[in-house]
Structure formats: structure tokens, C-alpha cells
Chain A
Amino acid sequence: MSDLLTTDVLTALIAGGILAGVPLLFASLGEMVAERAGVLNIGLEGYMLIGAYFGFLVAYHGGNTFLGFLGGAAAGAAVSLIMVALCVQMGLDQIVVGIAITLVAEGATALIFDANFAESRPTLGATGRIDIPGLSQLPVVGGADTSDGSIFSQPPIVYIGLIIVALTAWTLRRTHWGLNIRAAGDKPSALDAAGVSVVATRAWATIFCGAMAGLGGAYLSITAAGLFEDFITQGRGFIAIVLAMLARGKALWVLIGSFVFGISLSISDVLQIAGVDISTDLVFMLPFVTVIVVLILFGRRSYLPAALALPYVRGAR
């Protein structure tokens, strides 16, 4: 067990937690905002996959990871336009379209990747990191001289992510956009009556969701894996939906949830490395089991926007 306490292992634990947590953080942050505006993006997995593929593609051909992240975000946003057009605009069922997006994304990325890269299987190098001066030299939380860094030595995109979380929280609470988003999810007719376009509000929230999920996917392929692989998201989109709903509309809780989940995956690795025999089935179940137990013991009405997943039609009876 003494192995557990070495600084290298603890650093790796944090690094692993961040690697696993950041994709979830981006995706569930986007989902949370869209849900507050009343749009349930069941197709999050699809956005992430597309973001992962195009992020990888841009990073690979452009030779620049930052461009890759932008490319992933743009691709995710582009796919979310399907949702905007079909669901927000025309009022088609969000769950049907969301699932269709996931299926199309799974099929399309596998198909194109297979056609282009199955033989060459390119990988990307390590994503460049920035070391926070001073702090990055600290043991465990510093991580300047390790493979995947630690809290104070991460690729800029991770810090940008934290800034986005803060900005999102502030925007939701303090700005007109935020107010509109909250109203669009709780009572779109009121927003409409106040002269604000429900469609536009929901559309922007959905595009934000697409961009964030695409960014999460791009992080997954560019930084977390350094390559693309069919179905690389492995169901993370659905986990992100769960996290977004558990966050009850609060950006901070998205942050906490994502990293708790990331760390719990990372802990299972570290325990195994330390020789503690533990079933990964069990460990993977743990965060969910914990949440369920908490819900059963302290279960109270969970907050979800009243108009979630309902199309808004002006004056409908």
C-alpha cells in the first residue's frame, strides 16, 4: 500500500482524473446550458464524436493542437445546427433527432476514419502544457515534470475550460442572455411575451452545447488519447447528460461532478497499480451507485426546467 503514497502515483491520480474529467466537463457544461434553455440534447455523444474526429483531423493536418480544439468546437457547433433546425425551429421531437444525430455521427466518423486512417493510424504528440509559475513545482499538485501534468501544469485548454465554467455561471446569473436562457426553459411563453425570441435563445444555447461537446470530444482525441478511434467517446456523452442533470443547472456542480467522476475512474487505475485487487466493474459502478443511494436516502424533487424537451409554439392550445 505504501506505493499509493508516492508523489508520482498521486500526481498520476490527479492527472488521470483531469484527463478523464475534462471531456465530461465540457460536454456536460454545454448540455446543462441547453437544458436550462429547454433543449435536451440526447445527441451529445454524437456532437462529441464529431468534435473528436474533426479536432483530431485539424490537429493532425494543421499540426497545432489549439487549432484542433477550435476545429472540434466548430464541428460540434455545426452538428448542433441540425438540432437547431429540426427541433428548435420546427419542433420535431428532441429525443428522436438526438438519437439520429448520435447514430449518424457514429456511422460517419467510423466510416471516414476507416477510409482515411485505418492503415496509417496516425497519433498526435503530447499536447503542450503551461506551467503556472511557482505552483507547478509543488509536489503532487504541481506536476511540471511529469507526463500528464497535475493541477498546475495543464494544457491551456484546461484552464480555458475553467474560465468558461466561471463565465457560464456568471452569464447565467447576471446577464440578459442568462436570464433569457433560464426563462426559455422554465416558461418560454413568458419569454416570448416579453419580446425575446424563444427560438433564437434556444438556438444559441444549443449551439453553445454543440461547441462545448465538440470541444470535449476534441480534448478526448487530441489530449486524452492523442489519436482517433471509432466510437472513441465510449458512451461518455450519456454520462455527461447524467452529470448535467445532476448539476441542477449550476455550472459549479458540473465542474465538481465531472472531476469526481474523472477521479473515481483514475482511482481504480491507481488502486490496481498499487496492487489492490479491485474489479473495474465495481469501481465504474461506484459513482452511479453512490448517486442512486444518495437519491434514495435524501431524494428530493430534482430540479429540471419545466419546459425541457418541449417544443415552443407561440399561442398553441
Chain B
Amino acid sequence: MNEPIHNTTSRDHGPETIPVVELRGITKAFPGVLANDHIDLALRGGEVHCLLGENGAGKSTLMSILSGMVQPDEGDIRVHGEPTRLASPKRAIEMGIGMVYQHTTLVPTLTVLDNLMMGALGTFRLDEAGSRARLAEVAGMLGVDVDPDAETATLALGQQQQIEIIKALWRGSKVLILDEPTSMLTPRGVEELARALERLKGHGMAVVLITHKLHEATSMGDRVTVLKQGRVVGRLEPDELRGRSHDELQPVIVAMMFGEQEEAEPELVELQEHVVPVRGARELPREALLELVDVHVAPRGGELGVRGVDLSVRPGEILGIAGVDGNGQRELAEAIAGQRHVSSGEIRFQSLHIDRLSVWQRERMGLRYVSDDRMGEGTVAALPVGLNLVLKRIGQAPFWRRGSIRHAEIERNAREKIEEFAIRTPGPGTRIGTLSGGNIQKVVLARELAHEPKLVVYNKPTYGLDIVTTRTVRERIEALAAEGVSALVISTDLDELVALCDRIAVISRGRIAGIVENGAGAAQRVGELMVGGQAEVA
């Protein structure tokens, strides 16, 4: 271990150089799904290779094969030209492949240093001193700063992401795979990541970057591969990327990703994040639908809690909550939804005090919550899609009559929602846990938006979604707002908030640092508040 990262910069990547890793004809089937269908992919040193594709296209599966987590049904893998079987993550690590998974692989109860030392070979005793030195080295290479003794659970997601990257580089990897590393990061975090990747490229590393944000692909990627339904449907070589602007590249990529669908070209062009216009002011009723007065929520292990938040949302209004992840957003959302007690202060909904009402009662009043943790709490993986769609209606007509389930109603409802939200699933009876993230998110939305919502709290509603799904979700939020359904949209993605909201509040260290009316220059001011808010306490 601890071997220094090679400084062999191989800037020239002509076809004559052997790729660090080469995948040929990789095929992988899951029940009902062909996740990877004869995929070829070559990764070269000193390059960032962007992997794009809609939700469920098979990106994570392909990378899991590369990291030894999943075994392919067919195809072969060459590392430095040598045919290699990556039978386990251990083998992959030995072959110099480091992976940052889509879902965190840090042990929350361990310290940062423990997490990094895990799996290191050679010694019996933990080599703390050596590991600290190594941490300093890798952190320096990435240009980040981490506390080795912090308990991992207490760190913000952005910091956890950095540790994941450090972990992937820890044993001197030549290949670094990042599965959607940016979806939780602020624009600043993304910039930092981009700089770090630049440095790694400089050290000759091959980087795979999976993202749903095309501008990240065009700005950071040296090479692009687009997957669709398990197949490679398009590639952009370095010479095709170099020297072309984002606006030129975007339609090309979009066409590759969604080209076969019936959507018309002009619409597709509108998918570009920056094209969505900033919302103008709307006429809204005066009286508040939801009001928070000096709300405090006690923190649980590692959280900040909420410390005196005042907010009000009017009928039909879309209020954004911007801020770096881990500043009390989840606590706030859960307090409104009723999943947590408010330690002091008041929550009023439709002028009623709801502090003491249960989740269930609030749901019946039309207060809905789209959780940011769709796998952990939003759905029950072992239950079928059909039941997941009615989880918040258990015992209610028409799905239950006198306490007994009516399968026909549930099935009918499921078919309706699958159709309406274009959920990709083999059927209503499929266990939801096997769907791709985007499709799980659609099930959650379909459930929350049914049965006359009045106000919906969305926590990172488009996290991890592909562009088409993202657009669908945003359109729904707007369409509902037009019908008078309010929305509280919590997001770390400023662009999203600017595109959607009437007003944007900035949350920082459990407090509201300020509220900005959306309009020209709003993004600027929100950004300032976010920075200022941090500075205020730090």
C-alpha cells in the first residue's frame, strides 16, 4: 500500500496506446431487464470519460462490473491489455480500480481514518501514523482538507463524497470511477471536484464520471459514452469534444440519449438546464397556507437541527429552500411532515396548529412529503410497486374495505399511475427495490401527488434523475402550483430553484439566512446568502 501515485503523464492518447482498462461485449441481465447489452468501453490514462444515459440505462451496473461487485454474464475485461477476471472488489482494487459508488460505502459509526484504513493489507496492527501521512498526501493531491478523527456520520454529504474519493485513491488506483458524484454537491462543490479531477488527470489517472448534468459532461469530460437501455448508443471522441462549446454539444448528446423516442426535436433542445427561463412574479392569495413561527427541532446524532425558522407559504406558491446539504433541511422537512417533534415554535397549516398532529393526520389534510431518501424511507423495497403506490392510504377506501385489502383496486390504481408517470417496471407486481432510482422516484411522486394534495414538501425532488425525468418532475410541480397546490422545494441545485420558485429561502446552520424574491439576479443574491450564512457562524 501507500505507493505514490505515478506521475507519468500520458497526454497523447492516440489509438496506439493501450487503454488502462478495456471492456468488451459486457452483457448483464437481471430478471426482466437486460441491464448491459454487449457494451464496449475503453478507459485511458489522463482522461475523464463521461458516462451518460437515462435512469436505468445500465451505467451503475457496468461500473459495478468493473469494480468487481457484479459479475457479467458475458464479455471480457482487459486491464493494461491483460485479460482479467474481476471476481471481487478486492481483485478490482488490486488491479488499481477505485470506485466511488452511487450510494455511500462509508461506515457511519467509524471515524474517517478508520474508514480509510479499512481493507488495507500488509500489517496486522492498524498503521495510524502512516495512514495520517497518506491521508495528508492524497488530500493534498485533491486539494481538500479533512479531519481524520471525525465520525463519518457527522460529516456533510459533500465532505463524505471527498472521503469516498480519497478512499478510492487510497491504494494507488490508476482508474477512478465516480458514480454520480455531483448530484449532492453545490455548484462550488462541483467546481472543487472539477479541479481535483484535473489534478488526477495530471497524474495520469483514468477517470470515469457518471452524471446526469450535461454541462458537467461537456466541461469536464474528455470523452463521452452514452448508454441507452443497456446499449452504447453514442460516443464522442476527444477531437469531437475539443473546441466545441456546451451549447453546440448539448443537442448532439441529447439526441443520442433520447433520439429514438417520439419526442420532437425542439422540445429536446429545451431540456438544456440553462434554457429553462427564470420564473417571473405571479399573483397569489395573500393569506399563508403553511406558516412556521420560530420553529426549533432538536438535532439527532451529527445533525444541526433547526434553530428558529420563520417561513410562510401561500396557496399555489413555490418556495425554494437553498443551502449546502446538511444544514437542517431534512430536519425541517420532517418537522413539517410530522415525522419529528418540534421542540418549540409553531407550525400552522390552513390556519390550524398541526404541531401535535400525526404524519397520518397531516397527510389526510393534504400535506405531503417527498423524501430525499427514496430507498431508505420513501418505499418498501420488498413490496410490489402496486402496494408502494398506496402506502400512505393503508386501510382507506377504495383500496381497503372494512379493513380488508381489495387487490383489484390496487392493481387498477397501479396501472393508472404507471401509465400516467411513465414508470418503467415489468408490472405492478414487481418488487420496487429492483427498479432504477429514477423510476422509484416516479413511484414516490405518483403516490404523494395523488388524492388532492394542498402543499407538497419536496426534498431534492430531482436528485439522481435523468434530464427527461427531471423535466417531468419540474413540470408537475409547476402544473400543480398553477392549480393552487403549494410547494416547498428543498434543493442543493440553485439552477433548479431559480427555474422553479417564486421565492427562495436560504438555510444555513439550521436558520433561515434570508429570503429572496425570484427574478433577475436572484441566483446571485442566493449565492451570497449561502456564503454569508456560512461565514456568519463559522
Direct A–B contact present (CB less than 8 angstroms):
yes
Determine if B367 is an interface residue (Cβ-Cβ < 8 Å): no
Contact A317 B118 (CB under 8 A): no
Contact A195 B93 (CB under 8 A): yes
Contact A193 B89 (CB under 8 A): yes
Q: How large is the interface on A (under 10, 10 to 19, 20 to 34, 35 or more residues)?
A: 20 to 34
Contact B118 A191 (CB under 8 A): yes
Determine if A129 is an interface residue (Cβ-Cβ < 8 Å): no
Contact B107 A315 (CB under 8 A): no
Q: Given A193-B101, A195-B90, A175–B126 Cβ distance below 8 Å?
A: yes
Docked complex Cα distance between A197 and B68 (Å): 12
Contact A182 B109 (CB under 8 A): yes
Contacts of B106 in A (CB 8 A): 187, 190
Smallest CB separation, A8 vs chain B (Å)? 46
Determine if B270 is an interface residue (Cβ-Cβ < 8 Å): no
Write out, one digit per residue, whether chain B residues 74-112 have a CB within 8 A of any chain A CB (1) or not (0).
000000000000001111111000010100011111100
Contacts of A176 in B (CB 8 A): 117, 120, 123-126
Contact A189 B94 (CB under 8 A): no
Contact A314 B126 (CB under 8 A): no
Docked complex Cα distance between A196 and B91 (Å): 10
Contacts of B126 in A (CB 8 A): 174-176, 178-179
Determine if B371 is an interface residue (Cβ-Cβ < 8 Å): no
Contact B90 A197 (CB under 8 A): yes
Contact B118 A183 (CB under 8 A): yes
Smallest CB separation, B373 vs chain A (Å)? 15
Output the nearest chain A residue to B106 by Cβ-Cβ distance: A190
Contact A182 B64 (CB under 8 A): no
Determine if A177 is an interface residue (Cβ-Cβ < 8 Å): yes
Docked complex Cα distance between A196 and B70 (Å): 15
Contact A190 B107 (CB under 8 A): yes
Determine if B115 is an interface residue (Cβ-Cβ < 8 Å): yes
Determine if B470 is an interface residue (Cβ-Cβ < 8 Å): no
Determine if B18 is an interface residue (Cβ-Cβ < 8 Å): no
Contact A180 B118 (CB under 8 A): yes
Contact A195 B69 (CB under 8 A): no
Determine if B381 is an interface residue (Cβ-Cβ < 8 Å): yes
Contacts of A306 in B (CB 8 A): 109
Contacts of B108 in A (CB 8 A): 186-187
Docked complex Cα distance between A182 and B106 (Å): 12
Output the nearest chain B residue to A177 by Cβ-Cβ distance: B124
Contact A187 B125 (CB under 8 A): no
Determine if A269 is an interface residue (Cβ-Cβ < 8 Å): no
Output the nearest chain B residue to A195 by Cβ-Cβ distance: B90
Smallest CB separation, B181 vs chain A (Å)? 15
Determine if B114 is an interface residue (Cβ-Cβ < 8 Å): yes
Contact B125 A183 (CB under 8 A): no
Contact B107 A182 (CB under 8 A): yes
Contacts of A230 in B (CB 8 A): none
Q: Given A176-B117, A195-B93, A197-B88, A183–B110 Cβ distance below 8 Å?
A: yes
Contacts of B91 in A (CB 8 A): 195
Contact B105 A317 (CB under 8 A): no
Output the nearest chain B residue to A193 by Cβ-Cβ distance: B105
Contacts of A179 in B (CB 8 A): 110, 114, 117-118, 126
Determine if A194 is an interface residue (Cβ-Cβ < 8 Å): yes
Docked complex Cα distance between A314 and B86 (Å): 14
Pick the most buried of B89, B118, B125: most chain A CB atoms within 10 A of its CB: B118
Contact B118 A196 (CB under 8 A): yes
Interface of chain B residues 455 through 512 with chain A (CB within 8 A): none
Contacts of A177 in B (CB 8 A): 124
Q: Given A175-B126, A183-B107, A193-B101, A317–B89 Cβ distance below 8 Å?
A: no
Q: Given A186-B108, A317-B434, A195–B123 Cβ distance below 8 Å?
A: no
Docked complex Cα distance between A176 and B123 (Å): 8
Output the nearest chain B residue to A183 by Cβ-Cβ distance: B107
Docked complex Cα distance between A143 and B56 (Å): 72
Determine if B433 is an interface residue (Cβ-Cβ < 8 Å): yes
Smallest CB separation, B534 vs chain A (Å)? 29
Contacts of B434 in A (CB 8 A): 317
Output the nearest chain B residue to A303 by Cβ-Cβ distance: B109
Docked complex Cα distance between A189 and B115 (Å): 12
Contact A192 B89 (CB under 8 A): yes
Determine if B67 is an interface residue (Cβ-Cβ < 8 Å): yes
Partner of A189, one of B92, B105, B120: B105
Docked complex Cα distance between A179 and B107 (Å): 11
Contacts of B101 in A (CB 8 A): 193
Pick the most buried of B70, B88, B123: most chain A CB atoms within 10 A of its CB: B88
Contact B107 A195 (CB under 8 A): no
Contacts of B107 in A (CB 8 A): 182-183, 186-187, 190-191
Interface of chain A residues 97 through 113 with chain B (CB within 8 A): none
Interface of chain A residues 303 through 317 with chain B (CB within 8 A): 306, 314-315, 317
Output the nearest chain A residue to B168 by Cβ-Cβ distance: A193
Determine if B119 is an interface residue (Cβ-Cβ < 8 Å): yes
Contacts of A193 in B (CB 8 A): 67, 69, 89, 99, 101, 105
Smallest CB separation, A41 vs chain B (Å)? 21
Docked complex Cα distance between A176 and B89 (Å): 18
Smallest CB separation, A203 vs chain B (Å)? 15
Partner of B105, one of A174, A182, A190: A190
Contact A195 B119 (CB under 8 A): yes
Contacts of A180 in B (CB 8 A): 118-119
Partner of A194, one of B64, B94, B118, B381: B118
Contacts of B105 in A (CB 8 A): 187, 189-190, 193-194
Docked complex Cα distance between A291 and B126 (Å): 35
Contacts of B167 in A (CB 8 A): 194
Smallest CB separation, B288 vs chain A (Å)? 37
Given A187-B106, A196-B118, A315-B69, 11 other A-B contacts at CB below 8 A?
Answer: A178-B126, A179-B114, A182-B109, A186-B108, A193-B101, A194-B119, A195-B94, A196-B90, A197-B90, A315-B70, A317-B433
* Contact surface of A with B, Cβ cutoff 8 Å: 174-180, 182-183, 186-187, 189-197, 306, 314-315, 317
* Contact surface of B with A, Cβ cutoff 8 Å: 64, 67, 69-70, 88-94, 99, 101, 105-110, 114-115, 117-120, 123-126, 167, 381, 433-434
11 cross-chain CB contacts under 8 A: A174-B126, A176-B126, A179-B117, A180-B118, A180-B119, A182-B110, A186-B108, A193-B99, A195-B91, A314-B69, A317-B433
